[in-house]
Every structure is written in structure tokens, then in C-alpha cells.
Amino acid sequence: MAPATPPSRPRAWLNCLYALVTAAVCGGLLALAALTPAPPGVLAAVIVICIVCPMVAAYQLPAAVRALRAQLDAARLRRLLDELPEAPHPLGF
């Protein structure tokens, strides 16, 4: 099996944003279901859904964070290399 390609920068940001929004919505839904009088069966289903959905949304999060960190490291290395002085080739090429 071939390794998966890392997500692009916009896709990685969208994955992070999707996980954040999913966790916030599920937290709000869980609080709303707990505070309103709901049947126990519905409350149990909402609890399961509100736990599973953020877990599914966070499945691609490690790859997205890894891609964003790799791009940051590459940019940091480019800045460091740009600060180095230019030197002539020792053989005159």
C-alpha cells in the first residue's frame, strides 16, 4: 500500500477547522440535550453521536498538523538559508 500524500496547506487548515467546528457543535448539542427534558433513549443516542462525531472528524487531524508543521519547518529553513552570506565557488565556477 502506497503512503498517502500529505494534504495541501488549505486542505490541512480546512481539516483543522472542520474538527474544531464539529467538536463545538457536538458539545453544544450535548449540553442542549442534557438540559432539555429528552427521553432516555434519545439522550443515549445523542451522547453516542456527540462522542463519535468529533472522533471521526479528528481522524485526519494528525496528518494535517504534520503537513502544517512541515511547511513551517521548510519556511524556517529557507529564512535561515537566506541569512547566510553568499560565497564564491572555490574553483571559480
Mean per-residue pLDDT pooled into runs of 10, the chain (93 residues):
77 94 94 87 90 91 90 88 85 79
| pLDDT digits 0-9 by tens, 38-62 | 888 888 999 999 999 999 999 989 9
Q: Is residue 91 part of a domain?
A: no
pLDDT of residue 72: 84
CA–CA distance, 5 with 81 (Å, rounded to integer): 27
pLDDT of residue 26: 94
Print the domain residue range for 25.
9-69
Q: What is the mean pLDDT of the chain?
A: 88
pLDDT of residue 14: 94
Q: Is residue 36 part of a domain?
A: yes
Q: Is residue 92 part of a domain?
A: no
Q: Is residue 15 part of a domain?
A: yes
Nearest Cα to 12, choosing from 83, 63, 84, 75? 63
Q: For the packed helices 9-35 and 40-57, what is the interaxial angle rounded to 10 degrees?
A: 170
- If DSSP states are collapsed to H, E and C, what string results for 56-74? HHHHHHHHHHHHHHHHHHH
